[in-house]
Amino acid sequence: MKVLVVGAGLSGLVAATEIQAAGHDVVVWEARDRVGGRVFTLREGFAGGQFADIGAEIIYHGQQNIADLCARHGIELSEEFSLGTDVPDLIFAGERLDRAAAGEIVNELREAIKRTRPSHYETVAQWLRRAHVSVPAELLLAAIAQSTPAAPLRIADAQELNVELSWGEAYRKIKGGNDTLPRTMARKVDVRLNRPVRVVGWGTNGATVESDQETFHADRVVVTVPGPLVSELGFEPALPADKVRALLQLRYGNATRLVVQYAERELVKQAIGSGCFTDRMPGFITDKQILDSVDATMSSVVGRPIKRLFGVVKSWTHDPWTRAVVRAPIGDQRDSVLPVIAAPLDGRVFFAGEHTDNRVGPGGMEGAIKSGYRVAREVLARA
């Protein structure tokens, strides 16, 4: 069986390696000039040989699929760390709250969640009506929502946002940068870069995939590009109406990743710890304005002007091969929409990607990997 996988992110690479391991011929097409998709480690521009993950970053506690996948490929994970302490740094109106005040707000939220558990499909705005928390606690929730795919609160899933209230928990990263995993996996399969797909066709005789360079004939096709791009691909015959409707209904998070390196590293670390939240909401401003604003805020928090050595702004929403960060299902979409998006077409065209995974919380790397395993099983069942 000949299989073409569209997309060399984690879901595509997992699917490709699993299908190839079962004895089938697999080729992977990737639109970018690199593998990894939203797993992207920036290694240029930093002083002192530093690097930064400006895409998917954290391996959360209990995410065993990615931990096992790294172990299988001989890739080491970092030691466990937490985003600061049990209390995150809170920066409201450009000023850092003292630890006691921040602790009171955080504890208020934690107690409210224990006392009034979010219901299935309940929005954060609805939960706040029942929970009766203070205005500062509501502001903190809004700040958290702005840093996740959950915003705005009137439609954000309370169970989804609750996943983010986990300061002090243990996290891990991949040693040497998260892109070590997709780069290692890509060396074991036939990956062809700079191959943006225009049309996916299928019928009783198999499937075809067209790019500007060539047309590829396969027995099966696995489409793993991000959800917003699936609805923009050409399909022949056209996608079923229910799948198109599901793709258009599913919400996605919009986010810009900002990475800044300062000369006064220790001062910055002492001022805000390993993580913080701010009530300064993102808006339509230029990259330079973003960096200048962060410099001003950091100087205010540190207590004196500080020197930026390097800074980069990465908008995943405006990336032409992504158009989003992660899926952010609302209401019953985890149960009603995601399965429709993931459903194969006549046993010829299959779908994977973090946007097809129905776990609670952002799909991220774990969701992408799970979907890769799932779609590989589906393809092999039709071999």
273 shares a domain with 240 = no
Q: Is 53 within the bounds of a domain?
A: no
165 shares a domain with 93 = yes
Give yes or no for a contact between 220 and 379, defined as CB atoms under 8 angstroms apart.
Answer: yes
230 shares a domain with 338 = yes
With a CB cutoff of 8 Å and minimum separation 6, the contacts of 360 are 159, 160, 163, 334
Helix (H, G, I), strand (E, B) or coil at 5: strand
> What residues form DSSP beta bridges with 235?
200
284 shares a domain with 225 = no
Q: Is 339 within the bounds of a domain?
A: yes
With a CB cutoff of 8 Å and minimum separation 6, the contacts of 161 are 124, 141, 144, 145, 148, 150
pLDDT score for 155: 45
Distance CA(115)–CA(130), nearest Å, equals 10
Helix (H, G, I), strand (E, B) or coil at 244: helix
345 shares a domain with 310 = no
- What average pLDDT does the segment 118-127 reach? 72
Give yes or no for a contact between 44 and 178, defined as CB atoms under 8 angstroms apart.
Answer: no
pLDDT of residue 88 exceeding 60: no
pLDDT score for 206: 94
For 205-253, what is each residue's pLDDT tens digit? 999 999 999 999 999 999 999 999 998 999 999 999 999 999 998 888 7
266 shares a domain with 247 = no
Which residue's entry shows tokens 């799970």? 370
Cα dihedral angle (137, 142, 143, 147), rounded to 10 degrees? 140
239 shares a domain with 150 = no
Q: Is 82 within the bounds of a domain?
A: no
pLDDT score for 370: 97
Helix (H, G, I), strand (E, B) or coil at 63: coil
Q: What is the token pair recorded at 59?
A: 């391996």
For 308-322, what is each residue's pLDDT tens digit? 888 888 988 889 999
Which residue's entry shows tokens 């409707």? 245
Distance CA(51)–CA(304), nearest Å, equals 26
**What domain range includes position 373?**
2-36+64-70+178-252+329-381
Q: Total domain count for the chain? A: 2
Q: Is 79 within the bounds of a domain?
A: no
Q: Is 77 within the bounds of a domain?
A: no
For 145-195, what is each residue's pLDDT tens digit? 655 554 454 445 555 554 445 445 678 999 999 999 999 999 999 999 999
Q: Is 302 within the bounds of a domain?
A: yes
164 shares a domain with 28 = no
pLDDT of residue 269 exceeding 50: yes
pLDDT score for 161: 52
Beta strands in the chain, from DSSP E residues, in sequence order: 2-6, 25-29, 41-42, 52-53, 89-92, 95-96, 190-192, 197-203, 206-211, 215-218, 220-223, 234-236, 256-262, 276-278, 308-315, 349-351
Q: What is the token pair recorded at 115?
A: 């006392």
Q: Is 224 within the bounds of a domain?
A: yes
Give yes or no for a contact between 331 and 25, defined as CB atoms under 8 angstroms apart.
Answer: no
333 shares a domain with 244 = yes
Domain with residue 202: its CATH number is 3.50.50.60
143 shares a domain with 156 = yes
- What average pLDDT does the segment 289-302 reach? 75
159 shares a domain with 12 = no
- Per the confidence metrics, is the pTM higher than 0.85? no
> 86-95, 295-304, 319-328: which has the minimum mean pLDDT?
86-95
262 shares a domain with 143 = yes
Which residue's entry shows tokens 């198999």? 206
Mean pLDDT of the chain: 84
For 18-36, what is each residue's pLDDT tens digit? 999 999 999 999 999 999 9
Q: Is 280 within the bounds of a domain?
A: yes
Assign 3-state DSSP to the chain and report helix, strand, coil percentages, each to 5: 35, 20, 40
